[in-house]
Every structure is written in C-alpha cells, then in structure tokens.
Amino acid sequence: MSDLRRLLDDGKPIFGTDGVRGVAGSELTPELAVAIGRAAGAWLRGGPVLVGRDTRRSGSMLSMALQSGLHASGIDTVDVGVLPSGGISYLTATGPATMGAIVSASHNPAEDNGIKLLAARGTKLPDGVERELEEKLRATGSSSALGGSIGYRVENADGFWSYLDHLSEISRYSLSGLELVLDCANGAAFKAAPSLFQRLHAQVQVFNAEPDGTNINRSCGATHPEFLARVSRGRIGLAFDGDADRLIVVDEDGKVANGDVVLAIVARHMKRQGKLKGDRVVATVMSNLGFRKSMEEAGIEIVETPVGDRHVMDALLDCKAVIGGEQSGHIIFPEHGSTGDGLLTAIKLLDVVAGSGKQLRDLRAEAIVEYPQVLENVRVDRMTDLARVPALWDEVKVVEEELGEEGRVLVRPSGTEPVVRIMVEAPSESAARGYADRLAKLTRTKLGKE
C-alpha cells in the first residue's frame, strides 16, 4: 500500500483548522497535493482556480503538484506566483476564478508547508465543503481528462500590481514624513510591503526581505517582534509573518503592539468618525481584558468568537460588522477583503496615525491599557473532554473569584495536539504567572505529564 493510500485510509481528517498543513515532502507530499487538486477539480463545475504561494523552497513543488491535479480534472489554473495571502484572496474574489489556493504554512518554520483552498469570494472554504473534498480524496478510481479537456496553466504577473493598486486606493492619506521599519519575515511580503509603502511616500527601511527558500520566519517577522523592537526605536515598525496575513506593530518606544492594540486603535477611530457600523467589533475569547474595557468605555459592543480567523469572518458576515480580528494580528476588514491581510491592516492603522497627526505611542495610550497576560501550554499524555475534570474547573472558579473584575481565566484544549492552553490575565505579571502556574500544575496532575 502506498504512503498516500495509507494516509487517506486511516480515517483521520486531512483538512485541519487552516487547510492542510505538515512537513513538506513527508507529511505534505507532492502526491497528496496532486490528490487534493484532483478532488477539488472533481468538486468544481469549472475553472479557473487561482494559485499563489509564499517563499518556501517547497512552494513551487507543491504548487505545481496541486495544479497538475486540477489539470488532470479538466480545470485551468492561473498562477500568480509569490504573493501575500490577502492578495491571493483579493484576486480570487475580484476575478473569474471559481476557487483560490494558497500554498503556505503561514508563520510555521520553513520545513512546513500547507494548502488552503478559498471559495470564489476569497474566504476559506466552509467545513462542510472540506469534508466533501476529503470524501473525494478517499474515493478510488478517479479518471483523468483527455486531449483538449485537460486543464492548462497560465501565469498572471500583473496580479501583483493589481493587488498593490487596490491597497493604495484604500489609503486615505499620503504617508509622507512617516518613518517605517518593515520586517518582511523573508516571506510573501518581501516585495509587496516595501513597494506599497514607498508608493505611499513613507520613508522605509526594510529588513528580512531576502528569501532563500529556507529562512522564512527564522527569528524574524510577526512571530519574533523582538527583532523589530531592537532596530526601530523612534520609528513605527511593521512585522509580517510568512504569508503576510497577520501584522504585529512596534511603536516609537520599541513597545510591541499586538492585534488587540491595533484593533482598539482603529475601532475607536472608526467610532469617532461614525464609520463603525452598529458600533460593534468582532474579537475572540483570547482578547485582552484591557481591550474589553477599552471597547466598553468607547460604547462599542464586542461580538465574541472562538479562536480562529475563520470564526471571526463568519461572525463579521452574520452581524454585518466592519472590523474584527485576533490578538495574533489577524485583522479583517470585510469591506476591503475576505481574510486577514497584514498590509491592509497596516494601511488602516497608518491612516489613523496620518489623519490624527499623533504618534502611535500616544494613540495606543489613549486607546488601551493592556492587562498582563500569561499563556501556559500544558502537554498531556492524553486529551480528554475537560468537562470530565471537575477538579480543574473547581480551581478555575476559585482563581476567578480571587481575581474578581480585575482578571480573567481561559482554559481550553488545543484543536491540533494533546495540549491544554491556560490563559490568565491579572493586574500584575507576577500575579498572572502565579495563577497560571497553579492551574498548569493541577492540569498536569490530572491529565498526564510532568
């Protein structure tokens, strides 16, 4: 039995919380990519499918394999090459594509890669469609198109510039006089981010924009903002991740600003301008208590979702809100895009800076006072329904009573590995750490592994 057949027959889900992801060449093989392309092609009634990728060495291999599977099912493809995820989503939604595909593992190390399929409107495929594709993946005996029915690949180098034109039109202000430091994570933003902000007349210094296929996210980018904090003093720093769908910011004092801070600044600004539809914002359960108090103070309702930008987008559509996001830096503006887009988020934030004439550190101080937050990831021997561990919830209740309104506790299982995630917010770092350690110790005692 082939490795691919063994994988497909073991009954485990192929699509995870963010598409298919794994170590390129072993977990995510070209054979699997071809099979995903065949399944997607069999599900579609026609093409083309728009395909883009980040800068990983394995990206061209997997992109070509995916397209081969689509071609074998009679579906044409449009290859836009290396482009931020937001750009791939935008081109999918505004062009003739019936589906989009992003070949990227986002913030993961260079050895990993992934395939994320998009609906024609540029959003992630619904869970139900992914389950249908898994059924087609596991089916045997698929046939190939023949002759003139075989799909064909075309390149679209102009897509890059169409995406930049789109972002430039969103910006309401010239950024002349603003000094920016960009950390492109040696990823998909390596060309797009410098080109965009130079076009908007900012003074730009660029780091980590020399991808070699193996250095994406390596000690840089949104997952390592400490690098930007060291080099950007006195200027605003913008850090992107591998596929540039998230943004982490550094203010003029070298202080890191995560998605909660960005969301608070932009949402409050939109409220003042009368542009925050319904006076509501979408955020996840991980949002900082300081963010929650900021929104309450500003008279803004929070629509809360589980962790994951898919949940954020669903809630945005359901409640017709105009902004939502995650602490990790995924911010979505559904009027302008259907997924997290770090470059779009940066434009929205810098418009507040340019329009107000204030420094980012001052806008931050006005918008939000963050509570210290400690996150403990407890690896356990076995994953079980946490509702069946009453001692843990008894202790959570005790901690919540001790914290009162000056803190918050969130305990949840990981969706991808045997890990229990424990988050505690408190008025001080030491208090948050103490409570988190207390809950982590009990979790290890009840579920496994010291």
**Which residue matches tokens 């505690």?**
424
pTM (predicted TM-score): 0.91
Distances (CA, A) of 124 to 118, 120, 259, 311, 340: 5, 9, 20, 10, 11
Residues 290 and 194 in one domain: yes
pLDDT at 171: 93
Residues 328 and 381 in one domain: no
CATH code for position 221: 3.40.120.10
Residues 228 and 377 in one domain: no
Taking the C-alpha atoms of 394, 400, 404 and 408 in order, what is their torsion angle to the nearest 10 degrees?
Answer: -160
Taking only the tens of pLDDT, the chain with its 450 residues reads 467 777 776 767 889 888 999 999 999 999 999 999 999 999 999 999 999 999 999 999 999 999 999 999 999 999 999 999 999 999 999 999 999 999 999 999 999 999 999 999 999 998 899 999 999 988 866 789 999 999 999 999 999 999 999 999 999 999 999 999 999 999 999 999 999 999 999 999 999 999 999 999 999 999 999 999 999 989 999 999 999 999 999 999 999 999 999 999 999 999 999 999 999 999 999 999 999 999 999 999 999 999 888 899 999 999 999 999 999 999 999 999 999 999 999 999 999 999 999 999 999 999 999 999 999 999 887 667 788 889 999 999 999 999 998 999 999 887 667 889 999 999 999 999 999 999 999 998 888 754
Residues 168 and 130 in one domain: no
Residues 201 and 332 in one domain: yes
pLDDT at 450: 47
Residues 190 and 338 in one domain: yes
Nearest-Å Rg of the Cα atoms of the chain is 22
pLDDT at 383: 64
Residues 133 and 232 in one domain: no
CATH code for position 431: 3.30.310.50
Residue 191 amino acid letter = K
pLDDT at 18: 84
Nearest C-alpha neighbor of 97 from the set 116, 134, 122: 122
Residues 118 and 196 in one domain: no
Residues 363 and 397 in one domain: no
pLDDT at 413: 85
Out of 85, 106, 287, 294, pick the active-site residue. Answer: 106
Report the alpha-carbon distance of residue 163 to residue 89 in Å, rounded. 10
The parent domain of residue 379 ranges over 373-447
Residues 105 and 204 in one domain: no
- Retrieve residue 138's tokens: 């596991």
Q: End of a domain among 343, 367, 391?
A: 367
Q: End of a domain among 132, 157, 182?
A: 157
pLDDT at 449: 52
Residues 147 and 185 in one domain: no
Q: End of a domain among 157, 180, 199?
A: 157
- How many domains is the chain partitioned into structurally? 3
pLDDT at 119: 96
In sequence order, the 6+-apart residues with CB closer than 8 A to the CB of 226 are 256
pLDDT at 121: 95
106 is annotated as an active-site residue: yes
In sequence order, the 6+-apart residues with CB closer than 8 A to the CB of 155 are 78, 79, 80, 81
